[in-house]
Amino acid sequence: MRYLVTAEWVELGALLSPEQVIGILDQTVGPSLEMIAQWEEEGTIHGGTFPGERAGAWVIEADSNEELDGMLNTLPFWGQMKWHIRPLQTSRSKLEGQRGLREQLSNAAQVQAAPGG
């Protein structure tokens, strides 16, 4: 399955000291981005961060909701981000669904147009 995943940094409140920012960068942001870069290299995800923002968007391939949840939960900055996840339907699947709907509507129209219908 494919998912559109967006993430936005949750502000921590008052300004942090430079030492605290360094700690966050070293302990959560850097390691998380390293993991995401690895997933990109493996072809599991595609996307990136928004220039000048502390946010990003990715299309992630996962076999299930649980697999996706497990992936995101391994990111060190998981709890510091606000996540939005939307499952994606392939264009082929959507096309097939539209064809099926058209056929159903066509059959219903033929029944109504038939004498006594």
At 117 the pLDDT is: 61
Q: What are phi and psi of 8, to 5 degrees?
A: -135, 135
Q: Is the Cβ–Cβ distance between 9 and 80 less than 8 Å?
A: yes
Look at residue 6 and tell me whether its pLDDT is greater than 90: yes
**Residue-wise pLDDT tens digits, 45-93:** 999 999 999 999 999 999 999 999 999 999 999 999 999 999 999 899 8
Domains and CATH numbers, the chain: 2-113 (3.30.70.1060)
Q: Based on the number of CB atoms within 10 Å of its own CB, is 100 exposed (0-12), middle (13-18) or buried (19 or more)?
A: exposed
Name which residue leads in pLDDT, 117 or 79: 79
Strand ranges for 1-117 from DSSP E:
2-9, 45-49, 55-61, 81-88
